[in-house]
Amino acid sequence: MTDFSDTYETDNGMTLPEGVHVFARKEALGNVAILEDSVTLHRLGTAEDFPEQAVAQAAIAVVEIDSDDPASLARLERLRAKRPSLPVIAGLQDAPVRTVRSLLRKGVSDVLELPFSSEELIAAIVDVSRDAKPSTPAVPTKLAPVVAVLGAAGGVGATTVATQLATMLSSRFGEGARTALIDLSLQSGDAGAYLDKRPRMTISHLFDAIDKIDDDLMRSVAVDCGDDLDLFAAPDDIDPIESASADAIARMIRETRKRYSAVVLDMPATLPNWAMPILLSADEVVLVGVGRIAALRHVKRKLSLLQMLGRERQNISVVLNRISGGLFKRSDVSQMEDLLGYDVAQTLEEDTQLVEEAQLQGVGVSTLQKRARLSRQIADLATSISAKIGKEY
């Protein structure tokens, strides 16, 4: 990134730093086109991906945002995660004060009304460049894939699936691989109990030091659960779920991805605003429901939400949990798939005794009974998920 020492003058005598990239629709640019010799314009829709080369080269990013579109907000989160120190100026149309405040809390440097005015944009760019700290070019970091496990409703066993899946993933990524399980069910936080762990430190310690996260702090918070798995537990205190900072959560996930082979997120069943960008950007979403016809409406609702967020069908794995052993046939699965309009990736047999014993000992079900039907089913799910998320890693 430039240190802002190379600036040049606009026609009105003001100086602009080098490397300003503007990402907006044509109709949102206003009269900014007159600055085309001074800034780089990218005429993009509000949810279109930013060109990789432009993101890498930008010293300041000016971004049009549709505050009513989760995909547009998720795009901003991805940009902030990829370039945390990149100054960002947001452009919004008729944005409520609450939205503006939220963007500023997330680290956006300034917010302008749309369509852009060249005079206001120049002033904002100059102000931001004065405040920006010199930095060296970021070294590209290979990030681990993310699996978000989401319950179709409360009590469907999503945390059980998340913990059991996480215990089996590392072995699918080869020797030396290690998986991180992050408990984002901030108000319930059962992953620690299911793995029989009582951590001294939780992800709240990462939130409190979000600008100072290093290997030592990550090791202090990570809890070794065996099976090449580390747990990052939910906070002990119960705070309003919307009080969590979306920027802090995104940055914590990114820091975790730098250090592990795969990251599993145990998502809250009731989704706050900060969860939407995560569900959109995760490499795979595992949607857990109960294997009963009457319970499928919850699965359909969450599938509709994921579709609204723009999730690709091939990156959603529907898992039906607590299937009655011996009574469930392939024809039953086909009937449920017809009702859902989605394929069922895996069914999991109900084996309460095995699950409870595994949770009491804090181990995977396969550690206790490798040949049990449930153990084989979870192993099949882990193999399927790892094959999908491991293609590009």
Mean pLDDT across the stretch 139-151? 84
Is residue 392 pLDDT above 70, yes or no?
no
Mean pLDDT across the stretch 221-249? 87
Ramachandran bin of 18, using left for φ above 0, alpha for ψ from -120 to 50, beta for the remaining angles: beta
Say what the pLDDT of residue 320 is.
95
Is residue 12 pLDDT above 50, yes or no?
no
Instruction: Report how far residue 38's alpha carbon sits from residue 329's, in angstroms, rounded to the nearest whole number.
Output: 66
Is residue 362 pLDDT above 80, yes or no?
yes
Neighbouring CB atoms inside 10 A of 13's CB total: 6
Neighbouring CB atoms inside 10 A of 71's CB total: 18
Q: What are the tens digits of pLDDT across the range 258-310?
A: 999 999 999 998 888 888 889 988 999 999 999 888 889 999 999 999 988 88
Percentage of residues in the chain having pLDDT higher than 70:
90
Say what the pLDDT of residue 243 is.
73
Mean pLDDT across the stretch 364-385? 94
Phi, psi of 381 (to 5 degrees): -65, -45
* CB contact set of 119 (below 8 Å; sequence gap of 6+): none
* CB contact set of 11 (below 8 Å; sequence gap of 6+): none
Domain 146-390 has CATH 1.10.1040.10: no
Mean pLDDT across the stretch 104-124? 86
Say what the pLDDT of residue 7 is.
37
CA distances for 49 relative to 21, 63, 85, 258, angstroms: 14, 11, 19, 22
β-bridge pairing 229-232 and 179-183? parallel
β-bridge pairing 88-92 and 60-64? parallel
Q: Is 179 exposed, middle or buried (0-12, 13-18, 19+ CB in 10 A)?
A: buried
Q: Where in the chain is the domain with CATH 3.40.50.300?
A: 146-390
Q: Where in the chain is the domain with CATH 3.40.50.2300?
A: 20-132
Q: What are the tens digits of pLDDT across the range 347-357?
A: 999 999 999 99
CATH superfamily entry for domain 20-132: Response regulator (3.40.50.2300)
Say what the pLDDT of residue 21 is.
94
4 or 325, which is more confident? 325
